[in-house]
């Protein structure tokens, strides 16, 4: 019945589209111009002809006013417009200097004078910068902002955090995700809750919901960030970041540019002790150009951009340890024990007997061990006898970007645009030595088409579709290189030789979207639907090897788990690993796919000339990712047994108990995902200078593919095999094997268990969503100055996070242990909540007298049970009593992305020198070339710090009440040595 209902809705929408009168919906990469036409007495003028002409391209859209004197034109590309209004008995009015921004609903009223239509009056339009149509909160970064404002790296996302409610910083596992390139979130959401659009097509990658394509800023016209209460047209996110690219015009225009930076004016790193001349050079070269113009005037236009970026950075300090001259030949008599004052104990790894001389015999050294030792650099930092090696390795990055766009008007009623975008990125990842260097190659390419058809004054239809590819370049990342040999010392400090192996992903997406609108009296009903297919392919550690040398430096060599000689240096000379990690699955990819369908209905109801209601509903079904090759492992929660899809490959290699007949998705889909939206915009006084806006809505979130990858990163399809030669071999005996020999017991270990800590999903996995509400007051102060202040809040429900099975569900853990001793899976679970409350204010002074300024301030507090998809910072604070499940227990604290105060201001000022300026306006051209045209641009941002959790090293923190941890002052005290808990 549900499928039939969806099909009937689609048929009804199509029937309405072919039989009714329509106006288009406001969409992400386009805008709306609307208003009221009146006569000198203030009475409305009906059936007036209104035409909006794009000044740059000459394309014109026409409509007429209705019985209320209102007109509305949607699907208009951002740009500079001229509006002409005609009606019998009145002079023709032409309004100029109308700038329409991306996603903007711009009110332009017109008052006609009595006279002949042949008489024409041209005036500068009095346009309010305020949103007087809806409760949506958003900000536009215009082309002038993008071009002028100083950015380190010239990446447009660097400007995204200038809007109210934004958070940026360096907490990549709590609310933000470094894989997106820039770390930011909005209004208390995680960075995996962002939704990206490019020329009105989806630009969001599935693995972490990060941005796919990032065009050069010289190819971007402008971009808009919607942070609260956006239209029912949108779902799958807490916010929307939409970019529109430049298009050609009736005049040819182009640019050539190069940005260069080197180390001459750069500050040296804090820990660098050498000279500036000796420090690796830092080069930053970004060169490119644009060209655009008409192919056929007023008909066809083109735009093209190419940009090339080459970066060589001096690098950050890399600290490790290196063997002394004595340690290089096995002499550890003077070596430092990093774990205490006890002397080093050197042991014969074959016999287990201690070597009193503390000099490793030559007979125990191997050729491969000596070769690896020769690759280990000499110590260069004698000030620290333990971590005596520091190096600054240069990093090389290259980026090539291309974008082409063509716009064609078949007529004034039919317009087609297409955009092709391509990006190639090679990111250097230097190791301690050359052999450990790695280049990570990424690329993206996309094709987007947008078609708009107008039939009559009130029938407009808009189609969008695209195909997009994104991923790590397989041709760049195919070389696995040497295995990873890791020498450990104190804590997690290590020195690696070789590379850790490959990590690849490849995504192909197809997206269709259609929008319609029906204006009926005082109602504008917006209809739409979309279909989105995502195919995601992933490979991680496949077929690579890691050899660990001496996990515990300076301890007794007769360890019950790890075979060691006593030091990392002697262990390397012997070349006998004490721990192996092998990647499973060869070079095969895991293949995921999901489809998303959505339908929406939005009614913008003009109740009166002062009040507009926004009523919306969206239905959206996002199917869970399923595997296309049957390679998925799940858990039977009743029995504690692993389950595989029937017919899954390689199951004959397994010796542990398992079930078949498992699902191809880690959790079932949820189709009852309806999202109501309600808002209003009210102008309490005459005119448009003051507006009150408010709204409430539900926004379901898109589940990133990263939360279900654990089921395919599992034996026997993928994942890693971890074992030691001391406890895992089939015969129970010790087996020593040098690094140049195949490890003993690989096949046996592979079939022995599902792994030590596989990651799975709880099958009860409802889709998470955000509740948003806001109340905003806006006022136009005149003189191009406007301000807004508002209360903005949201609440996250059924968010996901990661937990350990032994503490999340001890009973399930006991069942798993009975079937697979030593296995302790991590589990992605739902049921985590968050809350966000804020006061947000912003002010905008648009360009006048050579000066413009924008400022934003946010005072907020974010609380969360968990701040991240990958890490739950509060889970360690839950009771860990055996047999007591913490499955439904939550501790809410200040979220990892909680920033109480954030202030940003940006702007520019044209210096008053040169042609057309106050001073030196009539100087010689040479003087004008040097002194004229200068502009000062600035950005200033300040924010308070991130919270952090104090974990006691003794005892545990147990709360006696559901108070959040930031209120429990006694939790900051160190408990007595014999205490097991602290209570408030």
As a dihedral over the C-alpha atoms of residue 45, residue 47, residue 48, residue 51, rounded to 10 degrees, the angle is: 140
Rg (CA), the chain: 32
List beta partners, residue 319: 390
Rounded to whole angstroms, the Cα distance separating 223 from 162 reads 12
**pLDDT at residue 489 in the model:** 61
Note whether 259 and 218 are within 8 A (CB). no
CA 454 to chain centre: 36
Overall residue count recorded for the chain in this entry? 984
Per-residue pLDDT of 567-614, as tens digits, reads 888 888 988 777 777 777 666 788 899 999 999 999 999 999 899 999
Give the number of other Cβ atoms within 10 Å of residue 649's Cβ. 14
Token digits for 700?
A: 């379901």
Q: SS3 of 116, please?
A: coil
Instruction: List the Cα angle 318/320/326 in 5-degree steps.
Output: 140
Instruction: Out of 3.40.50.720, 2.60.40.1120, 3.90.600.10, 2.40.50.140, select the CATH number for domain 2-127.
Output: 2.60.40.1120
Provide CATH 2.60.40.1120 ranges for the chain: 2-127
Note whether 35 and 71 are within 8 A (CB). yes
Phi, psi torsion values for 808, nearest 5 degrees: -75, -45
Rounded to whole angstroms, the Cα distance separating 516 from 26 reads 10
Token digits for 183?
A: 């770390």
The helix (run of H) or strand (run of E) holding residue 747 is helix 746-750
Token digits for 207?
A: 């693995």
Rounded to whole angstroms, the Cα distance separating 115 from 93 reads 11
Question: Residue 5: which of 523, 621, 606, 509 has the closest Cα?
Answer: 621
**pLDDT at residue 3 in the model:** 36
Strands 759-761 and 769-782: unpaired
Residues 6+ apart with CB under 8 A from 821: none
Rounded to whole angstroms, the Cα distance separating 632 from 34 reads 53
Beta strands in 646-768 (DSSP E): 658-662, 674-682, 690-700, 720-723, 759-761
Instruction: List the Cα angle 440/443/449 in 5-degree steps.
Output: 165
Give the number of other Cβ atoms within 10 Å of residue 113's Cβ. 12
Instruction: List the Cα angle 750/753/757 in 5-degree steps.
Output: 105
**pLDDT at residue 488 in the model:** 62
The helix (run of H) or strand (run of E) holding residue 746 is helix 746-750
Rounded to whole angstroms, the Cα distance separating 653 from 661 reads 18
Give the number of other Cβ atoms within 10 Å of residue 716's Cβ. 21
Which residues in the chain come in under a pLDDT of 50? 1-27, 171-180, 472-480, 554, 557, 882-883, 953-984
Instruction: List the Cα angle 827/824/821 in 5-degree steps.
Output: 145
Token digits for 246?
A: 């430049």
Phi, psi torsion values for 268, nearest 5 degrees: -75, 150
**Please, is 99 exposed, middle or buried when counting C-beta atoms within 10 Å of its C-beta (0-12, 13-18, 19+)?**
middle
**pLDDT at residue 644 in the model:** 95
Token digits for 134?
A: 């809806």
Phi, psi torsion values for 758, nearest 5 degrees: -65, 160
Rounded to whole angstroms, the Cα distance separating 891 from 961 reads 10
Rounded to whole angstroms, the Cα distance separating 705 from 206 reads 6
Alpha-carbon distances, residue 201 vs 211, 402, 464 (angstroms): 12, 18, 7
Q: b/e map of 423-435 (b: 16 or more CB within 10 Å)? A: bbbbbbebbbbee
DSSP state of 30: S
**pLDDT at residue 785 in the model:** 92
> Average pLDDT, whole number, for the chain?
81
As a dihedral over the C-alpha atoms of residue 849, residue 138, residue 470, residue 282, rounded to 10 degrees, the angle is: 40
List beta partners, residue 470: 444, 507
Rounded to whole angstroms, the Cα distance separating 898 from 856 reads 17
Rounded to whole angstroms, the Cα distance separating 794 from 143 reads 31
As a dihedral over the C-alpha atoms of residue 769, residue 774, residue 780, residue 784, rounded to 10 degrees, the angle is: -30
**pLDDT at residue 886 in the model:** 62
- What is the secondary structure of 175-241 as a DSSP string? T--GGGSS-EEETT--GGGEEEEETTEE-B-TTTS-B-----GGGEEEEEEEEES--TT--SSSEEE
Rounded to whole angstroms, the Cα distance separating 559 from 539 reads 35
As a dihedral over the C-alpha atoms of residue 360, residue 365, residue 370, residue 373, rounded to 10 degrees, the angle is: -40
Rounded to whole angstroms, the Cα distance separating 899 from 161 reads 13
Note whether 627 and 575 are within 8 A (CB). no
Note whether 501 and 583 are within 8 A (CB). yes
Residues 6+ apart with CB under 8 A from 292: 246, 247, 248, 249, 252, 253, 254, 301, 302, 303, 304
**pLDDT at residue 331 in the model:** 94
Tell me the helix, strand and coil percentages in the chain, rounded to 5: 10, 45, 45
**pLDDT at residue 213 in the model:** 86
Rounded to whole angstroms, the Cα distance separating 88 from 119 reads 11
DSSP state of 330: T
**pLDDT at residue 96 in the model:** 92
Rounded to whole angstroms, the Cα distance separating 49 from 68 reads 14
**pLDDT at residue 671 in the model:** 94
Note whether 82 and 52 are within 8 A (CB). yes
């Amino acid at each position: 019945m549900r499928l039939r209902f969806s099909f009937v809705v689609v048929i009804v929408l199509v029937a309405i589209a072919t039989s009714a009168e329509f106006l288009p919906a406001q969409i992400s990469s386009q805008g709306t111009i609307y208003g009221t036409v009146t006569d000198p007495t203030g009475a409305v003028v009906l059936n007036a002809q209104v035409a909006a002409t794009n000044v740059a391209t000459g394309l014109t859209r026409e409509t007429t006013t209705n019985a209320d004197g209102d007109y509305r034109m949607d699907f208009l590309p951002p740009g500079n417009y001229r509006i002409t209004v005609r009606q019998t008995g009145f002079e023709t009015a032409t309004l100029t200097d109308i700038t329409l921004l991306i996603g903007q609903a711009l009110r332009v009223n017109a008052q006609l004078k009595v006279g002949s239509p042949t008489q024409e009056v041209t005036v500068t339009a009095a346009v309010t910068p305020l949103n007087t149509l809806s409760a949506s909160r958003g900000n536009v970064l215009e082309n002038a902002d993008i071009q002028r404002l100083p950015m380190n790296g010239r990446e447009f996302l660097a400007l995204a955090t200038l809007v109210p409610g934004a958070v940026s910083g360096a907490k990549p596992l709590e609310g933000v995700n470094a894989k997106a390139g820039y770390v930011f979130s909005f209004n208390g959401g995680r960075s995996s809750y962002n939704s990206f659009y490019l020329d009105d097509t989806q630009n969001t990658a599935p693995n972490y919901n990060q941005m796919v394509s990032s065009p050069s800023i010289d190819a971007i016209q402008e971009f808009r960030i919607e942070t609260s209460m956006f239209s029912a047209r949108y779902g799958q996110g807490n916010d929307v970041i939409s970019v529109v690219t430049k298009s050609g015009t009736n005049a040819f225009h182009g640019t050539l540019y190069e940005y260069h930076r080197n180390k001459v004016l750069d500050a040296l790193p804090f820990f660098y002790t050498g000279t500036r001349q000796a420090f690796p050079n830092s080069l930053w070269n970004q060169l490119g150009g644009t060209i655009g113009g008409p192919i056929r005037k007023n008909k066809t236009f083109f735009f093209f951009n190419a940009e090339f970026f080459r970066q060589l950075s001096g690098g950050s300090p890399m600290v490790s340890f290196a063997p002394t001259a004595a340690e290089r030949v096995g002499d550890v008599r003077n070596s430092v024990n990093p774990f205490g004052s006890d002397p080093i104990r050197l042991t014969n790894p074959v016999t287990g007997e201690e070597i009193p001389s503390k000099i490793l015999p030559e007979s125990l050294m191997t050729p491969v061990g000596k070769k690896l030792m020769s690759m280990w650099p000499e110590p260069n930092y004698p000030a620290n006898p333990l971590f005596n090696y520091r190096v600054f390795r240069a990093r090389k990055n290259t980026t090539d970007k291309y974008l082409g766009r063509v716009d064609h008007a078949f007529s004034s009623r039919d317009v087609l645009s297409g955009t092709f975008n391509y990006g190639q990125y090679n990111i250097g990842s230097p190791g301690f030595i050359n052999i450990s260097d790695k280049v990570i190659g990424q690329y993206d390419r996309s094709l987007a088409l947008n078609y708009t058809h107008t039939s009559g004054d009130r029938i407009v239809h808009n189609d969008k579709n695209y195909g997009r590819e994104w991923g790590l370049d397989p041709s760049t990342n195919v070389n696995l290189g040497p295995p990873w040999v890791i020498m450990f010392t104190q804590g997690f400090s290590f020195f690696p030789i070789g590379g850790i192996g490959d990590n690849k992903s490849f995504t192909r997406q197809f997206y269709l979207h259609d929008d319609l609108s029906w204006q009926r009296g005082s109602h504008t009903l917006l209809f739409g639907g979309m279909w989105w297919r995502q195919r995601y392919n992933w490979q991680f550690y496949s077929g690579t090897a890691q050899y660990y040398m001496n996990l515990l430096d300076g301890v007794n060599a007769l360890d019950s788990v790890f075979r060691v000689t006593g030091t990392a240096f002697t262990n390397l000379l012997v070349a006998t690993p004490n721990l192996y990690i092998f990647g499973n699955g060869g070079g095969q990819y895991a293949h995921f796919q999901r489809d998303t369908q959505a339908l929406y209905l939005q009614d913008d109801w003009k109740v009166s000339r002062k009040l507009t209601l926004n009523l919306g509903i969206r239905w959206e079904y996002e199917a869970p990712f399923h595997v296309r090759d049957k390679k998925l492992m799940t858990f039977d929660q009743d029995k504690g047994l692993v389950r595989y899809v029937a017919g899954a490959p390689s199951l004959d290699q397994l010796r542990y108990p398992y079930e078949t007949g498992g699902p191809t998705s880690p959790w079932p889909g949820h189709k009852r995902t309806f999202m109501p939206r309600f808002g209003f915009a009210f102008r309490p006084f005459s005119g448009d200078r003051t507006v009150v806006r408010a709204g409430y809505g539900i926004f379901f979130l898109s589940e990133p593919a990263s939360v279900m990858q654990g089921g395919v990163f599992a034996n026997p399809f993928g994942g890693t095999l971890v074992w030691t030669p001391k406890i895992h071999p089939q015969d129970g005996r010790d087996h020593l094997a040098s690094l140049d020999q195949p490890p003993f017991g690989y096949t046996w270990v592979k079939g022995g268990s599902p792994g030590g800590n596989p990651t799975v999903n709880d099958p009860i996995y409802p889709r998470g969503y955000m509740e948003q509400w806001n109340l905003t007051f806006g006022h136009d102060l005149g003189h191009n100055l406007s301000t807004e202040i508002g209360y903005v809040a949201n609440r996250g429900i059924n968010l996901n996070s990661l937990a350990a099975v032994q503490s999340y569900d001890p009973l399930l853990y006991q069942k798993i242990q009975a079937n697979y001793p030593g296995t302790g899976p991590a589990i992605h679970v739902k049921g985590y909540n968050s809350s966000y409350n804020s006061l947000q204010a912003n002010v905008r002074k648009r360009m006048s007298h050579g000066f413009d300024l924008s400022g934003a301030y946010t005072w907020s507090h974010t609380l969360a049970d968990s701040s991240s998809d990958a890490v739950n910072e509060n889970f360690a604070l839950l009771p860990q009593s055996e047999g007591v499940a913490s499955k439904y227990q939550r501790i809410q604290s200040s979220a990892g992305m909680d920033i109480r105060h954030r202030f940003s201001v940006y702007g520019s000022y044209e210096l008053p020198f040169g042609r057309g300026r106050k001073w030196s306006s009539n100087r010689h051209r040479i003087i004008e070339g040097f002194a004229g045209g200068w502009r000062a641009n600035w950005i200033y941002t300040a924010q308070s710090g991130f919270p952090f959790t104090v974990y006691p090293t003794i005892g545990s923190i147990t709360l006696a009440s559901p108070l959040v941890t930031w209120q429990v002052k006694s939790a900051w005290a160190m408990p007595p040595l014999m205490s097991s808990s602290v209570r408030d």
